[in-house]
């Protein structure tokens, strides 16, 4: 793998992906400052198997280390620390150290991101908004990370916790929908009825009972007994 390359227009063209299964892969964060803390939080939210390498940690990182939420190497990065790594994120430091981390990560065929050092990256981590199973990632292709942060803050206000509640409800419907509506086109129509309904708004207003009633209205009375045990 090679680091990030710019196209003829001088901009990056990243391919957006979501990584899964990080709990079974070695993830490493080199650095213990506030930027590292933000990256660590995101990885912990994904239940990643995580090692943090730094002689100092923010108070929050210290707390997480004491709780055993990640392994802590209480020293600076040393060559060989990235052996077997799948994902490497490092706070920007001096050019020599950045180059060492990048070269070792590349040799390990790892994904590597040196924060704010595009030439020493083979992936870009977007700014992420999460509400339950909803994940919205925002990237400016390396042009203006500050704008991505502002957009994330805006979307965090716009997409409230009701989106997580709605997705939890819909996830619980997948099996009963397949079992009780075998026809694909009819099942597809019902899914869009649910998504386009006012259930999300009702959840946002705290009207969970009304949201449930609306769900039953859309799916039909035949669903009610099944849903009471399987979803609610």
Q: Where are the alpha helices (DSSP H) in the chain?
A: 34-45, 59-66, 95-107, 145-158, 162-180, 184-196, 199-204, 208-219, 224-230
**Domain co-membership, 117 together with 191:** no
**Domain co-membership, 110 together with 44:** yes
**Domain co-membership, 172 together with 100:** no
136 belongs to a structural domain:
no
Asked whether the predicted pLDDT for residue 176 surpasses 90, the reply is no
User: Given the DSSP bridges, would you call strands 71-73 and 87-90 parallel, antiparallel or unpaired?
Assistant: unpaired
Q: What's the pLDDT at 232?
A: 53
Give pLDDT tens digits for 85-121: 999 999 988 889 999 999 999 999 999 999 988 889 9
Asked whether the predicted pLDDT for residue 9 surpasses 60, the reply is no
The whole domain housing 102 covers 22-125
The span from the CA of 152 to the CA of 144, in Å, is 13
CATH number of the domain that residue 45 is part of: 3.40.50.720
Q: What's the pLDDT at 73?
A: 98
Confirm if 29 and 90 have CB atoms less than 8 A apart.
yes
Q: Which of 68, 101, 125 is the last residue of a domain?
A: 125
Which of 1-15, 71-85, 119-133, 202-216 has the lowest average pLDDT?
Answer: 1-15
Q: What's the pLDDT at 5?
A: 54
Q: Which of 125, 146, 170 is the last residue of a domain?
A: 125
Q: What percent of the chain has pLDDT over 90?
A: 59
Q: Residue 180 — pLDDT band, cuts 50, 70, 90?
A: confident
More confident residue, 210 or 143: 210
DSSP 55: S
**Mean pLDDT score of the chain, rounded to an integer?**
89
The structural domain count of the chain equals 2
Question: What is the number of H-type helices and E-type strands within the chain?
Answer: 9, 7
Residues 32-44: what's their mean pLDDT?
Answer: 95
Q: What percent of the chain has pLDDT over 70?
A: 91
Q: What's the pLDDT at 33?
A: 96
Q: What's the pLDDT at 185?
A: 94
Q: What's the pLDDT at 231?
A: 52
Asked whether the predicted pLDDT for residue 225 surpasses 70, the reply is no
Q: What's the pLDDT at 4?
A: 59
98 belongs to a structural domain:
yes
Asked whether the predicted pLDDT for residue 224 surpasses 80, the reply is no
pTM for this entry: 0.78
Asked whether the predicted pLDDT for residue 15 surpasses 70, the reply is yes
94 belongs to a structural domain:
yes
Residues 49-71: what's their mean pLDDT?
Answer: 97
Q: Which of 98, 125, 152 is the last residue of a domain?
A: 125
Asked whether the predicted pLDDT for residue 125 surpasses 90, the reply is no
């Amino acid at each position: 793998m090679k680091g990030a390359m710019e196209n003829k227009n001088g901009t990056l063209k990243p391919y957006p992906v979501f990584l899964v299964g990080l709990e079974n892969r070695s993830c490493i964060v080199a650095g213990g400052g506030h930027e590292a803390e933000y990256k660590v939080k995101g990885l912990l939210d994904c239940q990643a198997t995580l090692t943090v390498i730094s002689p100092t940690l923010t108070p929050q990182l210290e707390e997480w280390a004491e709780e055993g939420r990640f392994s802590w190497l209480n020293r600076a990065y040393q060559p060989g620390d990235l052996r077997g790594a799948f994902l490497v994120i490092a706070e920007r430091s001096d050019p020599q150290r950045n180059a060492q981390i990048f070269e070792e990560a590349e040799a390990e065929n790892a994904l590597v991101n040196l924060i704010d050092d595009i030439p020493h990256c083979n992936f870009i981590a977007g700014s992420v908004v999460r509400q339950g199973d909803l994940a919205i990632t925002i990237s400016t292709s390396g042009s203006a990370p500050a704008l991505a942060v502002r957009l994330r803050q805006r979307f965090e206000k716009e997409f409230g916790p009701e989106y997580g509640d709605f997705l939890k409800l819909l996830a619980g419907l997948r099996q009963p929908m397949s079992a009780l509506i075998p026809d694909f086109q009819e099942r597809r129509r019902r899914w869009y009825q649910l998504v386009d309904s006012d259930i999300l708004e009702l959840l946002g207003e705290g009207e969970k009972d009304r949201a449930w009633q609306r769900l039953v209205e859309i799916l039909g009375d035949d669903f009610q007994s099944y849903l009471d045990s399987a979803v609610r």
